[in-house]
Amino acid sequence: MKKIISKCIFAGAALVASVSLACAQGKVSVAAISGYFAQGFGVSIVNGLNKAKTDFGIDLKLVDTGNRALDYEEQFANLAKDGKYDLIFVMGWELVDALQKASAAYPNQRFVFIDGVLDSDKMIYANFAEEQGSFIA
């Protein structure tokens, strides 16, 4: 339980910093595998972005990518192809391959990758230091 709380705190802090970057333009999308929006840090992320929607008037779109790798790639392409979103949040290490392809295909799109890392200078990362959760507890 303590580990989950520390992850939620970290995710919330990362979101505040990232959303402030997007507020000037006001368009944010969040893509996650089925179930992420209803559990753990996914709930905190959605709550934080909904608060940003209310407080700052951002245009927010939540996308459930499904559970198949082909769905991930298609969803990222749909979100990134027209450049509508200033930031696209991607939750979950399982999405790394599809995100890497989308990042290469849409070089002007900025992504926030939560719970994973890619070698790209146009990504914002929010990762968890598991050992620090124990310290907080």
Residue-range definition of the domain harbouring residue 82: 2-136
User: Which long-range contacts (C-beta less than 8 Å, at least 24 apart) are formed by 123-128?
Assistant: 124/14, 124/18, 124/21, 124/87, 126/10, 126/11, 126/14, 126/15, 126/18, 128/6, 128/7, 128/10
**Token output for 18:** 């990232």
Could you read off the pLDDT of 97-106 as tens digits, one per residue?
888 898 899 9
Q: What is the CATH number of the domain that holds 15?
A: 3.40.50.2300
Instruction: With beta carbons less than 8 A apart as the criterion, state whether 115 and 93 touch.
Output: yes
Answer whether residue 34 shows pLDDT above 70.
no
Could you read off the pLDDT of 68-116 as tens digits, one per residue?
766 788 888 888 888 888 888 888 788 888 888 988 999 888 888 887 7
CA atoms within 13 A on the CB side of 73: 9
Percent of the chain with pLDDT over 70: 65
> What distance in Å separates the CA atoms of residue 131 and residue 70, rounded to the nearest whole number?
34
Q: What pLDDT was estimated at residue 4?
A: 45
Q: How many domains does the chain have?
A: 1
> What distance in Å separates the CA atoms of residue 81 and residue 63, rounded to the nearest whole number?
15
Answer whether residue 22 shows pLDDT above 80.
no
Q: What is the mean pLDDT of the chain?
A: 73
